């Protein structure tokens, strides 16, 4: 079986050790995490932590990882998406040089968040592969100064 990219959206306890235990599930099975984003949803409760994990694995390995995570007492829910799932959206916040040329297309949107003396900060939203390509093009133009990417399901 061929490996493909996966995104897990994990609802978990927001407490020390949650990320470590989650990462150990992957490490102990020889799977490297490409990206990790962790956040607490509600500051008043421990039950609302969120992890977004991106990795490459076969479908069988992905299913094993999901089952293993769901057995952990700190995990409430694991939703799995292929990287090209139409319900998945990428959100990138990018710091661009003043020479950067980027405009919205039918595939993604661009919104300027701030303008600085050295460039601007923009938010790009669209399908993960499309946003990844746009970021790659900005890197190729030597226009990308910094970027943070997150994912959300719609």
The Cα 9–Cα 1 span in angstroms is 23
| Residues 49, 39 contacting (CB under 8 angstroms) | yes
Whole-number average pLDDT of the chain? 92
Q: Measure the CA dihedral 139/141/143/148, to 10°.
A: -20
* pLDDT score for 47: 64
- b/e 2-34 (16+ beta carbons within 10 angstroms → b): eeebbbbbbbbbbeeebbeebeebbeeeebeee
Instruction: Say what the pTM is.
Output: 0.83
User: Which H helix or E strand runs over 62?
Assistant: helix 59-71
* pLDDT score for 49: 85
Average pLDDT over residues 1-9: 93
| Domains of the chain as residue ranges with CATH | 4-82 (3.30.70.260), 88-153 (3.30.70)
pLDDT digits (tens, 9 = 90+) for 11-33: 998 888 999 999 999 999 999 99
* pLDDT score for 1: 76
pLDDT digits (tens, 9 = 90+) for 43-96: 555 567 889 999 999 999 999 999 999 999 999 999 999 999 999 999 999 999
């Amino acid at each position: 079986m061929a490996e493909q990219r996966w995104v897990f959206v994990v609802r978990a306890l927001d407490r020390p050790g949650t990320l470590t235990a989650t990462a150990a599930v992957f490490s102990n099975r020889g799977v490297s995490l490409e990206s990790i984003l962790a956040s607490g949803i509600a500051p008043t409760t421990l039950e609302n932590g969120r992890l977004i994990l991106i990795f490459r694995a076969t479908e069988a390995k992905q299913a094993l990882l999901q089952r293993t995570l769901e057995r952990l007492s700190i995990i409430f829910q694991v939703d799995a998406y292929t990287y090209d799932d139409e319900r998945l959206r990428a959100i990138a916040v990018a710091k661009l040089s003043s020479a950067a040329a980027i405009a919205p297309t039918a595939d993604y949107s661009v919104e300027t968040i701030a303008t600085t003396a050295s460039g601007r900060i923009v938010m790009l939203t669209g399908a993960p592969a499309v946003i990844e390509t746009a970021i790659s093009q900005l890197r190729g133009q030597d226009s990308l100064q910094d970027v943070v990417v997150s994912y959300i399901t719609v």
